[in-house]
Every structure is written in structure tokens, then in C-alpha cells.
Amino acid sequence: MIKTLQRRFALSKEGAVDLIKGCIACVAQDISFMFPVGLLYSFVIDTMNGGVSGNRIAFYAVGALVCLCLIFIATWFQYNTTYLATYVESGVRRISLAEQLRKIPLSFFGQKDLADLTNSIMGDCATLETAFSHYVPALAGSLISTTLIALCLFAYDWRMALAAVWVLPIAFAITFFSARIQGYFNRKSAAANVALESGVQECIESLQDLKANNAEETYLKGLDRKIDHVEKRHIISELGTALFVVSSTLILKFGIATVALVGSALLIRGEIDIPLFFMFLLVASRLYAPLEGALQNLAAVISTKTNINRMNEILDQPVQAGSNRATNKGYDIVFDHVGFAYNTGETVLKNVSFIAKQGEVTALVGPSGGGKTTVSRLAARFWDITKGKITVGGMDISKIEPETLLSLYSIVFQDVTLFNNTIMENIRIGKKDASDEEVITAAKLANCDEFAAKLPDGYHSMIGENGCELSGGERQRISIARAFLKDSPVILLDEATASLDVENETLIQAALSRLIKDKTVLVIAHRMRTVSGADKVIVLSDGCVAEQGAPKQLMNTGKIYPHMIKLQMISQDWGIGSC
């Protein structure tokens, strides 16, 4: 049962247990509200039988106090097992989603919109938080308590009980049958929300380009249409839900009417007495009140299916697993007939084989789209290959846990990611336990001193979201400083000096020369002068290794490499006004 609840509602094991406790608490609370009805029924009988004596007054006073205490205890228990437990589970759910995303291959993120993932972690979790604190336990409590009370009513008089409960299966059937329609409405609403969130995020991120091209007005018109579409979808969804919920609650109203009619007929025939008739009217009035809310809760629970499916889509993704212990002997990187295709079916690499030896610089060059960046990311197991084998020091990287594998790598990509924190803390990401002195030493090696000294708080200056307070070259140097600080035996460089001016590029290249000594270095290069000092060049074209060898060797025997050198020499001579 616990596993079923975990799957159905995307819960942890503890969350499923808490949900069961919450349902039991709601049952106890609903039943506690029936005790005053029993006390009132007894009071009416005593009154009709000649009045209430002094002892009976004391009995009813104590009984009222006991009922109050029972209701208080049941409500306190219900609050703790639903609201408080739900908030804890909501935190657990968000962490479990984040942990799952951490272990999922990066290929997954190429298929998903970031706004969609953010909405799953924040929006879907918030929706389920409300569902499990307000809807699900209350619905289960109403169903179970109503069943128990209905059985008790049948023990008194089956005809009156039938008159009271015949509306229940019809009301619930209407709501249950609406599940597919409500699911359709909710999926449409969720898709509209994601489209709007993506549009807003894209607008903020590309505001500079929109302004530069006078495209703000056109883009905002499109955003207005998305906002209108979200509003329309939510109105349709609410109306669709209301149609079934109102119909169900309307059916419930007939229950009191049938109790009154059947009871009146039986009373006239003398088959029941007035106190019993009165009791059924009281119970019916209490029976339907929580059920009206339960029907609304049922509609809300049905609507959470879309949110749960989106979260389960993340939780069901296969993760990259492996041994936590590295068994490599040395740090040679070997690609052995490697093939790779994205989930879209697009083949990126075909039968790629080469060796990047320890102590050497291996450069990856070739036309755009040839697979250079893909090779570097496969070497770090950001994705898992389709066929072939990649090893580091003889160790198959597909059998090593990604975090263990990445402890061997220092990576500098062309697209730098920085955090809204200080320069010091952004560099310290390379080595969490590094001292300030170690961080500053690495920063100096990456030539960060120049711009850090100009900032008000030096290395303790905040640099804004993704380093927005810094230039492209300054952001690149922080990324390089991380690699210096981590000082791993394998280094991956994706055009690491692309954003630097000539002076800083020279300084960084000198520093990188010190960093890469005796290490395995894989460099992606677009500038041919970057690879002139490489020990080996791998030329990738159309996902295949077209040529490989030392730079001088390829100049004599290659075709693509010499052509690229020639084209770059021509581009260097180009200037504005050139023909």
C-alpha cells in the first residue's frame, strides 16, 4: 500500500506513512463531530419523556465538555499529521527532485525547457503541498467516516438509511467520471503556464538584444497573447471542474429531502417514532456538509494527476550510476570506436577512435558541428555513449559514478557559469575546502588580480547573477582560476581564452602552460594558433576522425587541417574596407 501511495502521489516512504496517518486523523475528526449529534439526540428524547432532571443536566454539561475535548484532540492530531507533515514532505520532495536532476544525464536537459523543470520543482511541489494538507486526507477522511456512519444508520433503520445515502454513489460517480475531462483541461493549463514562464524568462534574458533590434513591442505582443491564453485556459479549467462539482453537490441536496419525505411517510404509518426521525434529520445535515467539501477535494485531487505525472517523469529518468572508487592507472583518455546519438535520433559521432596521452596536449579541431564539444563532454561522462568505449587510465568511465569521475577533471568551457556571490566564493567552487590563500594564489595564476583590485571589496566583491558585473574576459578568468584551484590530473579546455584580449590571452596561456604540465589535456580550439604547440591534433568532421597526428605532420599529409590554417591566415589579414 505504501509503495502504491509513493507511486500515485510522488511521495517518499515517510511521506506515504504520514499520508495514512493524516487520513486516519481526518476520520477521527469527522467522527468526533458526530458526538454532539448523539448528545443532542439523547437530550431531545429526555425532554420528550418528561424533562431533564438535575442529574441529567450535569450529565449533558459533562458530555458537552467531553465532546469539546474530543473535537479539540482530533483537530490537533489532524493539523499535525496533515499540515505540518506535508510541509516536511514538500521539502523532501523538492530535494529528491533536485538530487534526481543532479544524477540524470545532461542529454535530458536538452529535451526539457528550464522553465518547465523550475515549474516542476517549485510550482508542482506547491500544488501537491496544498493537495496533501487540504484535499487528500480530508477526502479520504470523509469517505471512510461517511461509510462508517452509513453502516450505523443501517443498524437503526435500513429504509431511512437508504433514503440518506442513495445520493452518495451518484454524486461521487459524477465526479469520478469527470476525471479524464479534468485531466485534459489541467494538461492544457499546465502547458500554457510553461509557455508563459518560458516567454517571460526568454524576454528577461534577451532584453538587450530586443532593445538593440527594436523588437520589444513585437515580442511583448506575443507575450500578451500567451498571458491571455493562460487566462483562457484557467477559466475553462475552472468552469469544467465547477460543472461536475456543482452537479455532484446538487445531487447531495436531494438526500435531506428524501430523508424528510421517507421519514414523514414512515412516521405517519407509525413505523418509526419522532426521535428516530429527528435523529436521521440531524445526521443527514451533518453527513452532507463534509461531503460537499470532499467532492470539491476529489476534483482537486484528480487535477493533481498532471502535476504528479510531470514529477514522476523526472523521478523515472534513468540515472548515471557506477562505482565510487576510481581504479585508473594513469590518465590516458582512450576513445575506442565511440558512437553517440541524441535522443532525437540525430547521430553526432560515428566510430571515433583516438588516444589523448598523459603529459601531452591533444587538440580537437574541425568545422563547426563536427563533434568537438560533444567529444569533450563525453570524455567527462556528461552523456553516456551509444556504442564503443571510453576509458581513463584503462578505467571504463561508464562504470564509474559521475562525481567520482569528475574529481579527476578540471574543466573550462567557453560558456562560463558564475553565481551571484563573491569572486572568492565563485573560485572556491573548484575546491570547496580551499583556504583564502589557496583561492587567491589560483586567482593570481589566472590573472584575476587586475580586475579584482578595481572592485570596492576586492575578492569579496559580489559579481551579480551569472557574473553580470564583469566583462566576458573577467568571467573567463574566474573559470580558469577554478581549474587552477582544483588542480586535477585531466584538463578539458573549450576555447578557454576565447573571451580574452591579446595581452591577457598571452598571460593566461603562460599560466595554462604551468597548469598542464604532466597532465592529460584535451583542448577544443577554433583559433589555429592555439593548437600550434599541441602534441597531437584530432580533426573532427561530420562526427568522424578525419585526420590525426602532430601539427607539422598534418601540414604535410592532411587536407582539412592545412586548409583551416590557410583560411585563418586569410581572416587575420582581413579588415574593414578589405575586398
- Is the Cβ–Cβ distance between 492 and 380 less than 8 Å? yes
Mean pLDDT within 364-392: 88
pLDDT digits (tens, 9 = 90+) for 531-562: 777 889 999 988 899 989 988 888 888 788 88
CA distance 541 to 336: 17
Query: What is the pLDDT, as a whole number, of residue 439?
Result: 92
CA distance 423 to 505: 20
Mean pLDDT within 126-153: 81
The candidate with the shortest Cα–Cα distance to 299, out of 243, 237, 241, is 241
CA distance 127 to 119: 10
Query: What is the pLDDT, as a whole number, of residue 202?
Result: 82
pLDDT band at 237 (very low <50, low <70, confident <90, very high): confident
Concatenate the DSSP letters of all residues of 2-51 into one string.
Answer: HHHHHHHHT--HHHHHHHHHHHHHHHHHHHHTTHHHHHHHHHHHHHHTT-
The candidate with the shortest Cα–Cα distance to 519, out of 398, 414, 408, 405, is 408
Mean pLDDT within 311-335: 86
Average pLDDT, the chain: 83
Query: What is the pLDDT, as a whole number, of residue 345?
Result: 63
CA distance 427 to 416: 12
Mean pLDDT within 194-208: 82
Is the pLDDT confidence value at 338 over 90?
A: yes
> Between the CA atoms of 74, 78, 80 and 81, what dihedral angle is there, to the nearest 10 degrees?
130
Fold topology of 415-487: Rossmann fold (3.40.50)
Distance of CA 499 to the CA centre of its chain: 33
Fold topology of 322-408+490-499+517-573: Rossmann fold (3.40.50)
Query: What is the pLDDT, as a whole number, of residue 576?
Result: 52
pLDDT digits (tens, 9 = 90+) for 242-271: 788 788 888 888 888 898 999 899 988 888
Query: What is the pLDDT, as a whole number, of residue 390?
Result: 94
Is the pLDDT confidence value at 172 over 60?
A: yes
Is the pLDDT confidence value at 374 over 70?
A: yes
% of residues, the chain, pLDDT over 90: 13
pLDDT digits (tens, 9 = 90+) for 105-117: 776 776 667 767 7
Between 355 and 31, the more confident residue is 355
Is the pLDDT confidence value at 474 over 90?
A: no
Number of H helices, E strands in the chain: 24, 10
- Is the Cβ–Cβ distance between 81 and 22 less than 8 Å? yes
The lowest-confidence range among 97-101, 334-338, 441-445, 564-568 is: 564-568
Is the pLDDT confidence value at 575 over 80?
A: no
- Is the Cβ–Cβ distance between 358 and 329 less than 8 Å? no
% of residues, the chain, pLDDT over 70: 92
Mean pLDDT within 433-437: 90
Between 37 and 377, the more confident residue is 377
Query: What is the pLDDT, as a whole number, of residue 107?
Result: 67
Q: Which of the given ranges, 220-234, 290-304, 308-322, 455-469, has the highest pLDDT on average?
A: 220-234
Query: What is the pLDDT, as a whole number, of residue 438?
Result: 92
The candidate with the shortest Cα–Cα distance to 410, out of 505, 489, 315, is 489
CA distance 27 to 256: 22
- Is the Cβ–Cβ distance between 32 and 77 less than 8 Å? no
Is the pLDDT confidence value at 40 over 90?
A: no
CA distance 341 to 467: 33
Mean pLDDT within 424-428: 92
Query: What is the pLDDT, as a whole number, of residue 574?
Result: 55
Is the pLDDT confidence value at 501 over 80?
A: no
The candidate with the shortest Cα–Cα distance to 193, out of 231, 153, 247, 242, is 231
Is the pLDDT confidence value at 578 over 60?
A: no
State the CATH class of domain 2-313: mainly alpha
- Cβ partners under 8 Å of residue 423, min gap 6: 443, 448, 452, 455, 458, 459, 460, 461, 463, 478
Instruction: Find the DSSP H helices in 33-157.
Output: 35-48, 54-79, 85-103, 107-111, 114-119, 125-130, 136-156
Between 571 and 215, the more confident residue is 215
Sheet architecture: strand order including 520-524:
409-412, 490-494, 520-524, 361-365, 536-541, 544-549
Query: What is the pLDDT, as a whole number, of residue 136?
Result: 82
Please check whether the two domains, 322-408+490-499+517-573 and 415-487, share a CATH topology: yes
CA distance 196 to 304: 20
Mean pLDDT within 496-506: 67
C-alpha cell at 561: 587541417
Please tell me whether residue 341 adopts helix, strand or coil conformation: strand
Segments making up each domain of the chain, as ranges: 2-313, 322-408+490-499+517-573, 415-487
pTM of the full structure? 0.66
Residue 412: strand pairing partners? 493
